[in-house]
Amino acid sequence: MTLFDAELATRLTRYAALDSQSDAASPTGPSTQIQWQILRLLADELTQIGAAEVQVTEYGTVLATIPATAEGPTIGFLAHVDTAPQFNATGVKPRTIERYNGGDITFPDAPGLVLSPAEFPYLATKQGHTIITASGTTLLGADDKAGVAIIMTAARHLLENPGIPHGPIRIAFTPDEEIGRGVDKRLPKDLAADFAYTFDGGAVGEVEYESFSADGAVVTVKGVSIHPGYATGRMVNAITLAAKIIAALPHSTMTPETTAGRDGFIHATDMTGGASEMVIHFILRDFERDGLAQKGEILRQVCAAVQATEPRAEITCTITPQYRNMRYWLENDMTPVTLARAACARIGVEPVSVPIRGGTDGSRLTEMGVPCPNLFTGMQNIHGPLEWVSVQDMAKATELCLALVQEAAGASKDRPPAE
């Protein structure tokens, strides 16, 4: 049992039980009304623990300040409140497994589901830990409510212990990260941080400063609808053309299930409609701008080729930028990464920096002028029913948060005074 275990477990299970799934099809911000519940809850909790300048912005971000106790840069800590739309997140029933015995974990609401350390070796290293999962029919939402719990716990500790030296700390809880809309254009100015960190990573030690670059694509196929009994030579079935597009894209390479490391992909996330019209949504991912542009061009060429086979159809392909690799900016000033690595050393953790096969709010924030690496929370198997997190890993992340602010305050003393 560490200093923060009980608080972290209580916070995560409370937050995870709140439905806050985002919705890419919604034009509003936040994309779902249900996100407002947890946003307002967090604002209330920040006020209760004594944070300053607490507000919920009109774009759905909770902001707050922990006043400085020493000289130092203004640091931002961020986590997102929404959960992924890829899997059921309604009716989450978090459960706590004390003193994990190292064996298979089963689920009360899905008897055939098994979380096995043989399949997930990281779990095998957590024997004796407190493990939190959902009940088997939903995701847990540790992505990123573990990050929320970590920041809230660290904030409460800092406010109750003003003897800990740190500069100004800005807290931001954002909506809609899972659909690439978590960083409103007003956030960098409102956050007012010299640099920031998202707590949205996985295994202990992760200090990530490189992410995918990402675009979204929507392909619309409009056919010609007519009664099927009289369709000879007249009907153009949009479903058939949509299937041709999917079939013509690379399948043995360039898909999520066939790529790893630094390989990017073209991923069809959903397809809806009928014989008269089909809409296919894609995400395009690559670590480099050229590779991302290439994948967009492949998709456009496939659409054009299928269009050429049936001129009576109308096929459009619209590609929209989402975020870019944070490395492009962080490699010019690695100060926040260096501080995070030093903070890891302070708490006895070996830092590990590997490219994120995804993105965070930090990707957009960095691109918009606020350097923002990503730090570990402990969450594993995200976006599905096997999602889990170790409370002790979360406690280590909380320690990292506290070490970071002290490391930054100490580093500021070493800087020569401005002339």
Q: Which residues are documented as binding site for Zn(2+)?
A: 80, 143, 178, 200, 383
- From the list 5, 7, 45, 82, the catalytic residue is 82
Alpha carbon 311 to its chain's center = 41
Determine contact, residues 410/345, Cβ cutoff 8 Å: no
Amino acid (one-letter) located at 347:
I
- Residue 233 CB contacts under 8 Å (≥ 6 apart), including other chains: none
Determine contact, residues 69/165, Cβ cutoff 8 Å: yes
Q: In the structure encoding, which two tokens stand for residue 127, read together?
A: 């024997």
The H or E element containing residue 269 is: strand 265-273
Query: Maximum CA pair distance of the chain?
Result: 85
d(CA 203, CA 162) in angstroms, rounded, equals: 30
- Residue 338 CB contacts under 8 Å (≥ 6 apart), including other chains: none
Which single residue is written with the structure tokens 């030579």? 233
- From the list 23, 177, 367, 393, the catalytic residue is 177
d(CA 174, CA 362) in angstroms, rounded, equals: 11
Quick check: is 177 catalytic?
Answer: yes
Cα–Cα nearest to 321, from 216, 399, 404: 216
Residues marked active site are found at: 82, 177
